Chain A
Amino acid sequence: MTALETVIGLEVHVELGTKTKIFCSCAVEFGAPPNSHVCPVCLGSPGALPVLNEQALALGIRAALALNCSVPAQSKFDRKNYFYPDSPKAYQISQYDEPIGQHGFIEIAVGGEKKRIGITRVHLEEDAGKLNHSPYGDVSFVDLNRVGIPLIEIVSEPDIRSAEEARLYLEEIRSIMQYCLVSECRMEEGSLRCDANISLRPVGQREFGTKTEIKNMNSFRNVQRGLEYEQERQTGILARGENIAQQTLRWDEATGTTLVMRSKEDAHDYRYFPDPDLPRIVLSAAYIDARRDEIPELPAQMRERFEREYGLPAYDAGVLTASRGLAEYFDQTAQRVRDPKSASNWIMGELLAYLKAAMLEIDEIHVTPFALADLIRLIEDGTISAKIAKTLLKDMLDSGKDAKTLIAEQGLIQISDEGELRAIALRVLAANPKTVDDYRAGKEKALGSLVGQMMKETRGKANPQIVNRVILELIAGGE
């Protein structure tokens, strides 16, 4: 059988981080009591008039520009008509043929190679209500709080070739949105949602195969798992010489399979038409430039700069730019130390482990980048050992005190005075004649044991380099 190529396109919905809904002044609040943030506009009451939220527009334009889209001077809202209990108006206000952004792209790194994924369009729309299904399957309950929450939909070109690429693309979209302060992108709260179209075709064929659409993949892991499953399923069908049915599928996490939601026979006809209640969006060049100026250094640029400016390995740069907060934290720390790689090691090691265990975000901890840099400089100038610094960092995170204060309080300054260390070493050697003999007999490991004794004597404060040298000198001198 000819080799098959996987073709994937993603539709990503991102909730915009506004205080209020897109077309009315109802507050946006996750987890509020049902139907407590609802007004006549949300309900589609006769005579209610939607008015565009200026911040939703600004965030949408900023997002489109960050995704390298061209933003036209004019666009418009359309009504997407459908009957479903999540929409009291029986239409969703969306954008059809004149979206706010088109023809963009982002770059992802696949196996060390850069790959460009095209963005077909970015459009503004309102969210629909939430349906809660009765466990008995007899009725559903409708909560309209989510109606009118501002979203952008980001539609990719069918440029994605594997489930892994799909996950990488989605992670990059999330990073960009977070860096731009467009959205918090919490998949578990639904502020980032992803639907995927997937089809297979023989390698070299231009036409696409019949596609299926997968919905309900509510985590990065499930996006990859869902697409891997569907790729396998379609491969199996084609291998048997059968045809793929064009269907909308739902990913079921519990069983790890896709289930049919609807087939093409009842494909929707949305009868889009311009929404007469909302005037056309008209943007000046100055307005668009101002939104462009709001875009900070993006994760891809930051990764590149960390590698170039600080000489970090690509892996470190990737980990440290996972969030804007972490990237800025590293940036500020690295600027203040001699060896940026040590800043990377401390943040990726001790600090991330602490954040994970304490379930905290980087901006919620006591230790500022300045304080961490101070700690690293104390190691660099030999005031404390790396081992003591580890303990100190824990104390700093717990107490909020800086390194110098804690060192003074605990008397932790490293002993680098050679005379003092020589005196201690003489005691240690005298107390361990057998170990000294072992070393002389060629047992290299015996040296480690003597150094360990020194550290014990000094409660870890001895400068390890000097200790090593002093012990070797004394053993050599005693011969």
Chain B
Amino acid sequence: MSLSRKDVLHVAALARLHVTDAEQEALAQELSRILAYAAQLNTLDLVASLAGVEVTSHMSVSSMVTRPDAPGESLPPEVVMANAPDAEEQQFRVPAVLEG
């Protein structure tokens, strides 16, 4: 499986990244190699080598974990706002957004 420059541009746009022409070519090759590496898994005979192992979306945690619905402490608002580049009246101030 290999990625085209178009794929790279699409992924870059989704990640809000600007990539130069040179980077596009380099990334297309690099990402293709990573995909090829992972694709080796497809050559395994899953039925024979992993008999009895169910396919899952999660690797390590097998049992469900929940917490009781009991309120705890939230952060003091001044701590919440501490890293805000811009703030006003205890709210984060951001460039105007039109959607929503």
Residues of A within 8 A of B (CB): 18-20, 24-27, 33-40, 43, 51-57, 76, 81, 83-86, 98, 131-134, 137-144, 261-262, 269, 271, 274, 276, 279-282
Q: Is the CB of A76 within 8 A of B58?
A: yes
Which segment, of B1-9, B23-31, B36-44, B89-97, faces chain A?
A: B89-97
Q: Does B62 contact A (CB under 8 A)?
A: yes
Cβ-defined contact, A84 with B96, below 8 A: no
**Chain B residue at smallest Cβ distance from A97:** B57
With contact pairs A36-B77, A274-B58 given, residues A19 and B71 touching in the complex (Cβ less than 8 Å)? yes
Contact of A26 among B65, B74, B97 (CB under 8 A): B74
With A34-B90, A84-B99, A271-B14: A19-B67 Cβ-Cβ less than 8 Å: no
CB distance B58 to A142 under 8 Å? no
* Additional A-B contact list (7), CB under 8 Å, known A25-B73, A52-B64: A18-B69, A35-B80, A36-B90, A38-B75, A140-B93, A141-B91, A142-B94
A139 touches B66 (CB 8 A): no
Would you call A83 and B90 a contact (CB within 8 A)? no
Give CA–CA (A33, B56) in the complex, Å: 42
Top-7 shortest CB links A-B: A25-B72, A55-B69, A279-B61, A141-B91, A274-B57, A54-B66, A142-B92
Q: Is the interface of B mostly helix, strand, loop or mixed?
A: loop
| Most B C-beta atoms less than 10 A away, residue of A40, A54, A137, A279 | A279
| With A53-B69, A131-B97, A279-B64: A33-B90 Cβ-Cβ less than 8 Å | yes
Any A CB within 8 A of the CB of B68: yes
Residues of B within 8 A of A (CB): 10, 14, 16, 56-59, 61-75, 77, 80-81, 88-100
Name the residue on B nearest A23 (C-beta). B67
Question: A141, B66: Cβ atoms under 8 Å?
Answer: no
Instruction: Contact check, A20 vs B71: say whether CB atoms are below 8 A apart.
Output: yes
Q: Complex formed: what's the CA distance from A113 to B92 in Å? A: 51
Separation of A347 and B1 alpha carbons in the complex (Å): 70
Contact between A43 and B80, CB atoms less than 8 A apart: yes
**Bound: A98/B55 CA distance, A:** 14
| Contact for B97 among A34, A56, A84, A282, CB less than 8 A | A84
Across-interface contacts of A138 in B (CB, < 8 A)? 96
Chain A residues whose CB sits within 8 angstroms of the CB of B69 once the complex forms: 18-20, 53-56
CB distance from A156 to the nearest CB of B (A): 22
Identity of the chain B residue whose Cβ is nearest the Cβ of A138 in the assembled complex: B96
With A51-B66, A280-B57 given, is the CB distance from A134 to B96 under 8 Å? yes
Contact at B100–A86, with CB atoms within 8 Å? yes
* Cα of A85 to Cα of B85 in the assembled complex, Å: 13
Give A94 to B14 CA distance when docked, in angstroms. Answer: 19
- Nearest A residue to B97, CB-CB: A140
A374 → B minimal CB distance (Å)? 40
Closest chain A residue to B62, Cβ basis: A279
A51's partner among B65, B70, B73, B80 (CB-CB below 8 A) is B65
In the docked arrangement, what's the CA distance between A76 and B90, Å?
Answer: 35
User: A residues within 8 A CB of B65?
Assistant: 51-52, 279
Are A35 and B96 in contact (CB-based, < 8 A)?
no
CB-defined contacts of A271 to chain B, threshold 8 Å:
14
**Distance, CA A131 to CA B61, complexed state (A):** 36
CA distance A430 to B11 in the complex (A): 101
Q: Is B16 within 8 A of A83, CB to CB?
A: yes
Residues of A within 8 A of B68 (CB): 54-55
Q: Which residue of A lies closest to B79 (CB)?
A: A38
Shortest distance in angstroms between B8's beta carbon and chain A's nearest beta carbon?
A: 14
CB within 8 Å for A85 and B61 given contacts A38-B74, A52-B66, A57-B66: no
Most B CB atoms within 10 A — which of A33, A38, A83? A38
Whole-angstrom CA separation of A142 from B91 in the bound complex: 5
Query: Which one of B68, B88, B92 has the highest number of Cβ atoms from chain A below 10 Å of its Cβ?
Result: B92
